[in-house]
Amino acid sequence: MDFGFLISAAEIITTDLPPGRVFGIDQATLINIIANVANVAILAGFLAYLLYKPVRTILNKRTNKIQGQLIQAEEELEKATELRRNYEQKMEDVEREREEILSEARKTAADSGRRILAEAKKEADTIRERAAANVEMEWERAENDMRTAIIDVSAVMAEKFVSLAINKETHDRLFDETLSDLEGMTWRD
Amino acid sequence: MIDLEIKNHAVLNLFGIEIWITDTIISTWIIMGVLIAFGIVVRIKVRNFKEVPTGFQNVVEALVETFEGYLRSTIGDKLMFLGSWFFTLFLFILLSNLSGLLPGMRTPTADWSMTVGLALVTFFLIQAMGVKYRGAGYVKDLFAPLPWWCPIPLFLPINVIGELARPISLSFRLFGNMLAGLIMMSLIYALFPVFAMFVIPAALHAYFDLFSGVLQTYIFVTLSMTFISGAAEVAEA
ipTM of the shown complex: 0.90
Cβ pair A10, B14 in contact under 8 A: yes
A8 in contact with B, Cβ within 8 Å: no
* Stretch 113-132 of chain B: residues touching chain A, C-beta under 8 Å: 113-114, 116-118, 120-121
At residue B114, the pLDDT reads 94
| pTM tops 0.80 | no
Q: Could you say which residues from 175 to 204 on chain B have a Cβ atom under 8 Å away from some Cβ of chain A? A: 179
SS3 B14: strand
What are the residue ranges in chain A where pLDDT is below 50? 188-189
Beta strands in B57-151 (DSSP E): none
pLDDT at B116: 95
Residue B189 has pLDDT above 90, yes or no: no
Does residue B147 have a pLDDT over 80? no
Per-residue pLDDT band at B27 (split at 50, 70, 90): very high
- Kindly report the number of other CB atoms within 10 A of residue B194's CB atom: 6
Spatial neighbors of B88 by CB under 8 A, at least 6 apart, are A40, A43, A44, A47, A48, A52, B35
**What is the predicted pLDDT for the residue at A181?**
80
Q: Taking CB atoms and an 8 Å limit, are A53 and B84 in contact across chains? A: yes
Task: Give the span between the Cα atoms of B177 and B110, in whole angstroms.
Answer: 8
Mean pLDDT of the region B123-130: 93
Please name the member of B11, B116, B118 whose beta carbon is closest to the beta carbon of A40: B118
Question: What value, to the nearest 5°, has the Cα angle with vertex B36 and ends B124 and A63?
Answer: 80
For position B176, what pLDDT does the model report?
94
Q: Which residue has the higher pLDDT, B196 or B104?
A: B104
CB-based contact, B19 to chain A, within 8 Å: yes
Interchain CB distance below 8 Å, A43 and B46? no
pLDDT of residue B173: 95
pLDDT of residue B237: 39
- pLDDT tens for each residue of A103-118: 999 999 999 999 999 9
**What's the rounded Cα separation, in Å, for the pair A72 and B47?**
27
Question: What mean pLDDT comes out for the span B101-118?
Answer: 90
Position B137 pLDDT exceeds 80: yes
Q: Which residue of B has its CA nearest to A65?
A: B51
DSSP 8-state assignment for residue B6: B
